[in-house]
Structure 1
């Protein structure tokens, strides 16, 4: 089987919460060419359940993330099925025994890829959607002198209590299926996956999106039920439940201050981010509402609040669903990269 990505071998990778991932691997894909000065690199991490190819909609000639100008690295998150995950880790840390991985762990692994494998000491930009935004904030707080620019969009520096509760609903749906068997399933727990999809459906897009019937009028589904089955259930059914739960734990425990650098001082962690930053929430995002982003910007020394004017909710930020939102994002990234 041919793959369109490469693997960086991390060896025995000690995790923040005490376990060690033996023979850990970080899957990644690159676009463009690293220049001689090694100063044209962009890191663009993946999101919840997404893999590198789900990020490619924002990369292209003439776009902000232009491979003719920049060397773009898309590292896959732990748990996404390509990097070390419940679905591909051998016993004894396989399946339900996969260890707890934090966003801090992900970004430390990515930092090793960037510095050890590519020999890059400075990044032009780190950017990402959703959990990619969480990792972007971590890059800024953990390595504040390493990049010029940051652009987290439709994401947060810390999982809010409300966001945590939403994810409890997803987790409950996945694990309630009898076939789940505490993570040791033989047959795919399709009832749980379909239920999780329907929990997600009420949050991924905004009230206005549904009110305007954009699922039918713009995306072309024949009815609301058709959208719930074909789009949402279809989206979840090819995912591995243990992988989803591993990344869900990472998301719920996302916090840029939960490490030995900041010891839980969230404002200090935000205040340490030196890079020029555009924090771009979706105006109608139900996961990461603009007021949370406003609070982040108020505690950052060099950040600008740039809400995405969209009724597409969380999906204003990806994965390439609405052309108008893509153009807005791309324009903002061009402006930031030109500064």
Structure 2
């Protein structure tokens, strides 16, 4: 059944007639309302002083004390600040950083009922509504008082905006403390392990929690959840990973690569330096590239069978001649999703975090390489009085080059060694057969690497296409199968 909202949003792209050429052309020229709309947005942005909040302070010494919140204000969160440097897996450093977070429920006296919720790539910390922000959260129906999945009368829930994001946590739009200017593409590359080490500071230093009851996440959040158990096995009891993986697959990397290439091809991206400055307060963000990248991403988030049932091959108006702008319902859906997202999320955060997903790797060889790189970075940072320096980036020893695995067996053994800290944890892995971005066999691989049927502590749930047609986004929508599996797993032994 077609959504009324979708049809209304799509009508502006319906054929508006034909523009006749002034010459003696055989056929009249088409109109392009979709391009007209993009030009209107560009002109509107030119008239604005700034396209993200809290960035209008003229003095850079003041600006660096306020991280910008990109797009719409995401209110209601709190901020944890760490003044200790965070040395990163790929050679970068953050001299200080901030993590935006929200909580629901109450931490008990023993501090034993805390659950950390990890987000996907583009989500804020606002998983559920609160008195500080009454807007529904991205996991609204999964959380609540006496809720069968995540019960706030029993659990103390914590959700963060990931490091590298743009909803309160330090990311590319944040100001580099060295000069008070936005990091832009000077922001260092992150690993999922880096994100987890930042979150662990929030949990241990701010909340004083020695051991989480559970770490729960889906997609990028599923990667983070596994990582938390790998990095801090003594500090978490249960692990939930939905639509995650043990190491990114080439097919997923290829899909995200195309999105990044389209975004970076937007001339307004300007190699990452599109944020307003005192000299150029009217810079335009790469909204067109961001819109197209989001449309491609949306194709990977949902499934063909779902779209067949929702849209089929229906056009807006079969009586009108076809046009090159959207006129199939599926085209209007993608166009609406891209336009809605294009100014609500920072393009650089999208680029960086999608690359972080590509780089995800739980293998032992990755752990060894990254630990060595962090030590080198710390040494360079301390010897150069707060600067990493170019030498670390340009001179790479033979030992730091990635060892190429020569067989599938060798690669799996490497992963199994890296995941060893998880084998003694209670782990729930959920896969979805309609998921094209992170196919269900990747979740089955996690289960097998942790011992599979020979490890009673590890559980695996796989949703058939008859259970869910929503593809990768199933974790946002399926209360019965995804939510039910999580709720039952958390209650076991509690």
TM-score normalised by structure 1 residue count: 0.91
For residue 305 of structure 1, what is the aligned residue in structure 2? 460
Q: Distance in 1 between matches of 2:158 and 2:214?
A: 11
Aligned residue in 2 for 1:314: 472
Q: How many residues align?
A: 331
Unaligned runs of 5+ in 1: none
SS in 2 for 1:306: strand
Determine helix, strand or coil for the equivalent of 2:240: strand
SS of the residue aligned with 2:247?
coil
1:69 to 154, 157, 163: 154
Does the 8 Å contact 1:282/1:316 carry over to 2?
Answer: yes
Residue number in structure 2 paired with 1:167: 256
Q: Is 2:114–2:157's contact at 8 Å kept on the other side of the alignment?
A: yes
Give the deviation of 1:23 after TM superposition: 2.4
How far off its partner does 1:145 sit? 2.7
- Residue 260 of structure 1 deviates from its aligned partner by 3.3
Rate the CA distance shift 1:15–1:262 in 2: closer, same or farther, 3 A: closer
Aligned-partner SS, 2:150 = coil
Among 60, 81, 101, the alignment partner of 2:144 is 60
Answering whether residue 202 of structure 2 is matched by residue 113 of structure 1, we say yes
Instruction: Check whether the contact 2:219–2:243 (CA below 8 A) recurs between aligned residues.
Output: yes
Q: Any conservation in 2 of the 1:138–1:157 contact (CA below 8 Å)? A: no
What pairs up with 1:205-284 in 2 under 5 angstroms?
A: 205-213=302-310, 223-257=329-363, 258-260=366-368, 265-273=414-422, 274-284=424-434
Deviation at 1:174, TM superposition (A): 0.5
> What residue is the counterpart of 1:9 in the other structure?
81
Partner Cα distance (2:470, 2:231) in 1: 31
Larger radius of gyration: 2
Which of 181, 189, 214 in structure 1 is aligned with 2:270?
A: 181
* Aligned-residue offset at 1:296: 1.1
Structure-2 change in CA distance of 1:236 and 1:128 (3 Å): farther
CA–CA distance in structure 2, aligned partners of residues 271 and 284 of structure 1: 29
2-structure distance, mates of 1:279, 1:262: 26
Label 1:215 to 1:30 Cα distance change in 2 as closer, same or farther (>3 A): farther
Please give the per-residue CA displacement for 1:162-199, whole angstroms capped at 9, x wherever unaligned.
11111101101100112211111221212201211221
> CA offsets, 1:200-234, max 9 Å, x none?
132111111112126999xxxx9223211223431
The answer on 1:88 being equivalent to 2:160 is no
Q: What is the CA distance between 1:148 and its match in structure 2?
A: 2.1
CA RMSD of aligned residues (A): 2.4
- Please say if 1:28 is aligned against 2:136: no
Match of 1:193 in 2: 290
Per the TM alignment, residue 72 of structure 1 is displaced from its structure 2 partner at its CA by 0.6
C-alpha separation between the residues in 2 aligned to 1:184 and 1:79?
A: 16
